[in-house]
Amino acid sequence: MKILMMTNTYFPLVGGIEQSIRSFCDEFRRLGHEVLIVAPSHEGKAEDEEHVIRVPALKKFYKTDFSINLPVLGLLPKIMKTFSPDIVHSHHPFFMGDFALRLSRQYHRPLVFTYHIMVEEYVHYLPIQNEGVKRFVMEIAAGYANLADQVIVPSPSVRDILIHRRVTSPIEVVPTGVDLKRFSSGDGADFRERNGIPPDAFVIGHVGRLAPEKNLDFLAGCLVGLLKKESRAHVLMVGQGPSQKTIGAAFEQAGLGKRLHLTGFLYKEDLADAYRAMDVFAFTSFSETQGVVLLEAMAAGVPVVTVDAPGTREVVKDRWNGRIIENPNRQEFIDALGWILNCSPEESRALKEQAEETVKGYAMSFCAERMLEVYENLRRRGIDPLRRNDSSWYMLKDRLKAEWDMFKNLIEAGEAALLEKSPSEKTAGK
């Protein structure tokens, strides 16, 4: 099978979406399928660009790390003709997502759309930030989902949210899997030694892009609070981003700078070693749809303390493989971290074993096979016969229909934002 992945973000930018795409693509190729990734150009170079095509883009858009693709006449149609994919898989509801929809319609290929993030949690990157803007981007994403042939969500709670938002396209739950062997075989003791972390320290870890949408002001406040109480506690943060300076300043101001260890992004064996150096994993984001880092931590035998949010409540069971805080405030989160710290050796061993047991159902091989089943079912189901004509006239007609559907979605999203309609008041449909 030939699969075309289209995304607004990819390595060297590191986050859940980028890791999900790479993990699935690596497994698809291992199973003998062909995968091509199309993404905007980005500052820096990823480790492996062999199967990636970059399109011209505005880099560091609005002072962020993100790139926004520019229209390039002829490039994407050429890709469709030379690569001739069986499936077009979109990972965003705008920018490259719009290109994916156009190509799907014009060349009569099924369009799969993965709903990776709660888009309304990212409006702080826009020039205007208010409830109307949040409603607008929510409606854009839901409307785009209704233009796809198949929607993928990483967790049941996100499926329920989309149904509430009147998404009527078929929805399948396919989590991003993890490489269980790699994350269970890291060397935590060696990592601590290399990074100046005492061997007997209680290490609270976090992995991810250090950005406002991850609720890191709240997390930093909780971690500072715990370190003030517990002299053997240290914090290990893997990642980088715009919130890094703020986090560092919070620890320095509290006189705790020497107990904060910021590593930047880590990859492969180094990342596995970092997880194994942790005693607990702390996570406070409400913007995820799954939180792959939770599964990676559990694969390394690390219990998790997290807030109750989409994508976390499916994997974290309170007092079994970690703690989940339903109505989080700073003291509750600090107390939950302290509960892990004060567990007996027997209780700690049980948490570790139960975390490892939890993640067995999320092996990458299993999740990739499930995604391939979705693709194959789409191919068998086929495209509406009325969309199959490959003449130039019908291809132009389908392209214009796609443009109209995207324009209509934009107008309806704007109307919903202006009138402050709830999701259930908007009529969805293709």
Is 97 inside a domain boundary? yes
Instruction: Indicate which CATH number applies to the domain containing 327.
Output: 3.40.50.2000
3-state secondary structure of 200: coil
Q: Would you give the distance in Å from CA 147 to the centre of its chain?
A: 21
Same domain, 247 and 301: yes
Same domain, 369 and 420: yes
Gyration radius (Cα) of the chain, Å: 22
Which of 338, 361, 384 terminates a domain? The answer is 361
Is 374 inside a domain boundary? yes
- Which are the contacts of 81, defined by CB distance < 8 A and separation ≥ 6? none
CA distance 25 to 34: 9
Q: Under a CB-based contact definition with an 8 Å cutoff, are residues 222 and 284 in contact?
A: yes
Same domain, 52 and 126: yes
Class of residue 274 by CB neighbours under 10 A (exposed 0-12, middle 13-18, buried 19+): buried
Give me 257's structure tokens.
């700078």
Same domain, 33 and 161: yes
- The predicted-structure confidence for 154-191, as pLDDT tens digits, reads as follows 999 999 999 999 999 999 999 999 999 999 999 999 99
Is 430 inside a domain boundary? no
Helix axes 131-145, 392-419, angle to 10 degrees: 150
Task: Cis check for the bond before 310: say yes or no (omega within 30 of 0).
Answer: no
Is 111 inside a domain boundary? yes
Is 393 inside a domain boundary? yes
Residue 151 parent element (H or E): strand 150-153
Q: Would you give the distance in Å from CA 248 to the centre of its chain?
A: 25
∠ CA(238), CA(311), CA(358), 5° rounding? 80
Is 130 inside a domain boundary? yes
Is 258 inside a domain boundary? yes
CA distance 257 to 289: 32
Phi (first) and psi of residue 84, to 5 degrees: 50, 65
CA distance 238 to 209: 8
Same domain, 154 and 8: yes
Considering its fold, how many domains does the chain have in total? 2
Same domain, 14 and 40: yes
Is 40 inside a domain boundary? yes
- How do beta strands 111-114 and 150-153 pair? parallel
CA distance 42 to 137: 24
Same domain, 135 and 233: no
pTM confidence score:
0.87
Per-residue pLDDT at 393:
54
Q: Under a CB-based contact definition with an 8 Å cutoff, are residues 109 and 397 in contact?
A: no
Q: Under a CB-based contact definition with an 8 Å cutoff, are residues 281 and 307 in contact?
A: no
Which of 361, 391, 407 terminates a domain? The answer is 361
Which of 361, 381, 407 terminates a domain? The answer is 361
* Rounded-to-10 torsion of CA 35, 113, 65, 47: -20
Same domain, 10 and 150: yes
Cβ–Cβ contacts within 10 Å for residue 59, how many?
Answer: 15
Same domain, 299 and 332: yes
Same domain, 213 and 237: yes
Give me 360's structure tokens.
């067995």
Sites in the chain below the pLDDT cut of 50:
385-387, 422-430
Per-residue pLDDT at 22:
94
Write out the residue range of the structural domain in which residue 159 sits. Answer: 2-177+364-425
Per-residue pLDDT at 122:
85
Same domain, 189 and 216: yes
Which amino acid is present at 385?
Answer: P
Same domain, 269 and 373: no
Per-residue pLDDT at 46:
57
Cβ–Cβ contacts within 10 Å for residue 230, how many?
Answer: 18
